[in-house]
A and B are shown apart, each in its own frame.
Chain A
Amino acid sequence: MLLVITYSQAARQTLRNVVRANESAVRRRLGRAALFRETELGAFLALRLREKHGGAVQIERTGPFNEFEDVPKAVYEAAVAYENRERPSTPYAKFAVGRPHPAPEELRDETL
């Protein structure tokens, strides 16, 4: 999907109008951002927005996120284990100590 984010009142208003007028092309509106279908029409609408409002419009491309394909097993397992911890007040950094889970510093700048 195409993620369109607006950064000005004018761009936000145009986005609102585009979303209203093109229900079939827009999957989701999230305030001043929206997810467009990844079709030529979606791209056309997104590019029109950027042509009109320049840097006040950001366009990114998103894709389905599959935690079993896109993420190392250790990261997935750490997330699940941490959310099922016994003591809710334990911060993750402490939780990871003595367990086979990556420390926050290891996770921080490691690109997927």
Chain B
Amino acid sequence: MTLGADAKRRRANGEGVATTPLRDHVGIVEDGMALSIRGALASAARSLGHETPADDRIAELRAALAAESVPEIDLSGARRRVAETSGEEEALRERVASLRGRVAALRDAGIDPESAREALRGATRRLSEVETERLAAEQALDAARRASRATRDRRERRLRREDRLANAERRARRTLADGIANEFERAVAIVPGAGTVGSRPSEFEGDAVTAALAVVRVAAVADPVVLDCRRFESTAAARACLDAPVVRL
């Protein structure tokens, strides 16, 4: 795989497919730091130019995900319309019922109900219109729901692809870390500080600073590492031990 200049620089910084820049892990080595050993080792391996069989696949998945865009689904407008028309219909039904009552009451009282009757006619007409509007709104919502199903299918496929990518990236990081496990173990023995490596590099027991120093020693470090720990006698000693440019605080 040939790399452009930009990619080469990132590679030299430990950044690559599935890995973050080395400085994110061990750019500053200070007491009390946290360290993801597998992540740090994976970045260190990248800085050394290591690759994994999964790299092409990961790049493919990333590109496919970036190229695809799933349209947004927003049915809130359709739902709001149904709620509005239903509410209006409900109110009109009550109005029609109460106007009917009024017409009957006026008649019984011997009063001419004509104006109430006219109001009733108007309300009944309006109710019929709103009923139609409500039905149309419900149909529109149904159609929108059906249409959103296909979009959801696409989102599901995308999610599965994202999960495959995350798994492949995890596998790649593990492969990269395992690939320099021996160098890491040797480096842990050499750098100042206590620490033991288990059967896998991530099974490290001891001070995170020790592990970080070991990672720096193993990696091909371009940018100076900031040391804020009391492990070395001098900057020169640190540089020699870690085989990296160093700035001590």
List chain A positions with a Cβ less than 8 A from chain B: 7-9, 12, 32, 54-56, 58
Contacts and interface: CB of A to CB of B under 8 A. Distances in A.
6 contacts: A8-B159, A9-B162, A9-B163, A55-B148, A56-B155, A58-B152
B72 interface: yes
A7 B152 contact: yes
Contacts of A7: 152, 155-156, 159
B164 to A, nearest CB: 12
Chain B, interface size: which category?
10 to 19
Contacts of B156: 7
Given A7-B155, A55-B152, 14 more contacts: A7-B159, A8-B158, A8-B159, A8-B162, A9-B162, A9-B166, A12-B159, A54-B72, A54-B74, A55-B70, A55-B73, A55-B148, A55-B155, A56-B155
Chain A interface secondary structure, helix, strand, loop or mixed?
A: helix
Chain B interface secondary structure, helix, strand, loop or mixed?
A: helix
B151 interface: yes
Contact of A55 (B74, B163, B166): B74
Nearest to A7: B155
A56 B72 CA distance: 8
Nearest to A56: B155
Interface string B128-171: 00000000000000000000100110011011001100100000
A8 B163 contact: no
A8 B72 contact: no
A9 B74 contact: no
Contacts of A58: 152
Contacts of B74: 54-55
A55 B159 contact: no
A92 to B, nearest CB: 26
A8 B74 CA distance: 16
Nearest to A55: B73
Contacts of A54: 72-74
A12 B162 CA distance: 12
Nearest to A6: B159
Contacts of A32: 159
Contacts of A55: 70, 72-74, 148, 151-152, 155
B152 to A, nearest CB: 6
B143 to A, nearest CB: 16
Interface string B61-84: 000000000101110000000000
Sorted nearest first, the 5 A-B pairs with minimum C-beta distance are A55-B73, A7-B155, A55-B72, A9-B162, A54-B72
A56 B73 CA distance: 8
Interface string B1-12: 000000000000
Contacts of B158: 8
A8 B73 contact: no
A47 B28 CA distance: 42
Contacts of A9: 159, 162-163, 166
